[in-house]
């Protein structure tokens, strides 16, 4: 990004203001436009961001040659058409999760951005969380031994939505964390869920299978008494717990496991349980959303591929789509499609 390049934000609902605050800090006056359809939300934005031109007309924004980057924070169903329009206009785009509502649309966007040499990044914010990055280092560095399985809980009372189910709404975070930590394409999904409030699942229990027998189980709900955001990673030598609600110890590393000793006279393996020390790694103090936006702006400037690029978005959407198919089939194991289309970075 040069001094004359401008940025636009689309959507100022629940999440948009967080992006706006960070854009203000990172891009300053180069954040030139906000596109928002709701007059009430436009009025609210005008009160806090007086230097920004606020409009309901995306075409007017795209007619400004200075606009080089666009951030999309609108409801999920609008992501694919808006991202497509921005890319067609030759602009780089950061799209909130999920990238699209179908794997076919997500693949189409990823391929189109690549063809046009434009940056397409997906807002998988948790891949910018210091605790998640540290877990990745501990896994890839061999500290935890073999990665066996992981499980996560993302629970709260609210925000209840009606356009997409709980897994499409908040599950993309857990899928992107699991894909990132395992580092391999998911193979299959098996999902259970229930619709207690309205026409979409409020609670889901999803298992994702990865190559080598690695499993990731995800419990996602917006109908739960306790706000919980936790990921547990079990390795053959160590175990990790990332608890986003724990301000003092977001990540704990446990020296726990079951060490194989020898076979007994009947050929049964004997194990010694190891219940060793726990430590809390020191983590960088950065706001993940600020890190995500900084990465996007840097990729636009340098033309490099974002770590959460369109193909990363495809892999998440492919899991979400397989979850829907499994829910419809009463929890049957469903292969994850589309992931073979990934173009290596
Ligand atoms: N990364 C995260 O942690 C995180 C957290 C919350 C939400 N999100 C994502 O942010 C996105 C927005 O979610 P939200 O909760 O703010 O939704 P929301 O419904 O509260 O707000 C969406 C806003 O977009 C506006 N809008 C809709 N269509 C538009 C269009 N075509 N042009 C301009 N404005 C339009 C609406 O008027 C509304 O104000 C979703 O994709 C969601 O998944 C991400």
Spans of all domains in the chain: 6-125+289-318, 127-286
Mutate which of 18, 62, 96 to test ligand 1's pocket (most atoms within 8 Å of Cβ)? 96
What is the domain class of 6-125+289-318 according to CATH?
alpha beta
Nearest CA residue ID for atom 11, ligand 1: 73
Q: pLDDT class for 1, splitting at 50, 70, 90? A: confident
The CA-atom distances, in angstroms, between 113 and each of 6, 63, 85, 116, 296 are 19, 19, 11, 5, 14
Q: What is the mean pLDDT of the chain?
A: 96
Candidate CATH numbers 3.40.50.300, 3.90.79.10, 3.30.360.10, 3.10.300.10; the one for domain 127-286: 3.30.360.10
| pLDDT digit string, tens, across residues 265-323 | 999 999 999 999 999 999 999 999 999 999 999 999 999 999 999 999 999 999 999 99
Write a three-state SS string for the chain: CCCCCEEEEECCCCCHHHHHHHHHHHHHHHEEEEECCCHHHHHHHHHHCCCCEEECCHHHHHCCCCEEEEEECCCHHHHHHHHHHHHHCCCEEEEECCCCCCHHHHHHHHHHHHHHCCCEEEECHHHHCHHHHHHHHHHHCCCCCCEEEEEEEEEEECCCCCCCCHHHHHHHHHHHHHHHHHCCCCCEEEEEEECCCCCCCCEEEEEEECHHHCEEEEEEECEEEEEEEEEEEEECCCEEEEECCCCCCCEEEEEEEEEEEEECCCCCEEEEEEEEEEECCCCCCCCHHHHHHHHHHHHHHHCCCCCCEHHHHHHHHHHHHHHHHHHHCCCCCEECCCHHHCCCC
Q: pLDDT class for 340, splitting at 50, 70, 90? A: very low
Q: For residue 324, report the distance from its CA to the centre of ligand 1, in Å.
A: 22
Q: pLDDT class for 342, splitting at 50, 70, 90? A: very low
Q: pLDDT class for 344, splitting at 50, 70, 90? A: very low
Q: What is the mean pLDDT of residues 185-190?
A: 97
Nearest CA residue ID for atom 33, ligand 1: 36
Nearest CA residue ID for atom 40, ligand 1: 75
pLDDT above 90 coverage of the chain, percent: 96
Q: Which atom of ligand 1 is nearest to the CA of 74?
A: 24
Mutate which of 74, 85, 93, 289 to test ligand 1's pocket (most atoms within 8 Å of Cβ)? 74
| pLDDT over threshold 60, residue 188 | yes
Is 94 in contact with 296 (CB distance < 8 Å)?
yes
Q: For residue 73, report the distance from its CA to the centre of ligand 1, in Å.
A: 4
Q: How far apart are CA 304 and CA 234, in angstroms?
A: 34
Query: How many Cβ atoms are within 10 Å of 198's Cβ, its own excluded?
Result: 11
Q: Which atom of ligand 1 is nearest to the CA of 289?
A: 1
Q: What is the pLDDT of residue 3?
A: 74
Is the pTM higher than 0.85? yes
| pLDDT over threshold 90, residue 341 | no
Is 157 in contact with 196 (CB distance < 8 Å)?
no
| pLDDT digit string, tens, across residues 146-174 | 999 999 999 999 999 999 999 999 999 99
Nearest CA residue ID for atom 18, ligand 1: 13
Nearest CA residue ID for atom 38, ligand 1: 13
Nearest CA residue ID for atom 10, ligand 1: 73
């Amino acid at each position: 990004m040069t001094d004359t390049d401008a940025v636009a934000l689309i959507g100022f609902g629940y999440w948009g203001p967080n992006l706006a605050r960070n854009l203000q800090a990172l891009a300053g006056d180069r954040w030139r436009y906000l596109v928002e359809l709701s007059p009430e939300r436009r009025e609210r934005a005008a009160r806090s961001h007086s230097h920004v031109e606020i409009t309901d007309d995306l075409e007017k924004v795209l007619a400004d040659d200075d606009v080089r980057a666009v951030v999309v924070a609108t409801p999920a169903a609008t992501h694919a058409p808006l991202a497509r329009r921005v890319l067609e206009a030759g602009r780089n785009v950061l799209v909130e999760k999920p990238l699209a509502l179908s794997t076919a649309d997500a693949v189409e966007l990823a391929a189109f951005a690549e063809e046009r040499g434009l940056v397409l990044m997906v807002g998988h914010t948790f891949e910018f969380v210091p605790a998640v990055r540290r877990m990745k280092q501990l896994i890839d560095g061999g500290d935890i031994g073999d990665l066996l399985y992981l499980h996560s809980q993302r629970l709260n009372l609210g925000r209840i939505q009606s356009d997409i189910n709980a897994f499409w709404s908040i599950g993309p975070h857990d899928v992107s964390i699991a894909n990132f930590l395992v580092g391999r394409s998911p193979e299959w999904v098996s999902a259970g869920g229930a619709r207690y409030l309205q026409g979409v699942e409020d609670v889901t229990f999803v298992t994702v299978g990865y190559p080598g027998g690695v499993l990731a189980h995800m419990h996602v709900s917006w109908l739960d008494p306790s706000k919980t955001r936790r990921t547990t990673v079990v390795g053959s030598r160590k175990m990790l717990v990332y608890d986003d609600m724990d301000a003092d110890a977001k990540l704990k590393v446990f020296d726990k496991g079951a060490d194989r000793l020898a076979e007994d006279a009947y050929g049964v393996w004997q194990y010694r349980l190891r219940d060793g020390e726990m430590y809390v790694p020191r983590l960088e103090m950065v706001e993940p959303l600020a890190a995500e936006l900084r990465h996007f702006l840097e990729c636009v400037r340098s033309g490099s591929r974002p770590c959460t690029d369109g193909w990363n978005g495809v892999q998440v959407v492919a899991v979400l789509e397989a979850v829907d198919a499994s829910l419809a089939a009463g929890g049957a194991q469903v292969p994850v499609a589309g992931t073979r289309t990934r173009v290596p970075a």
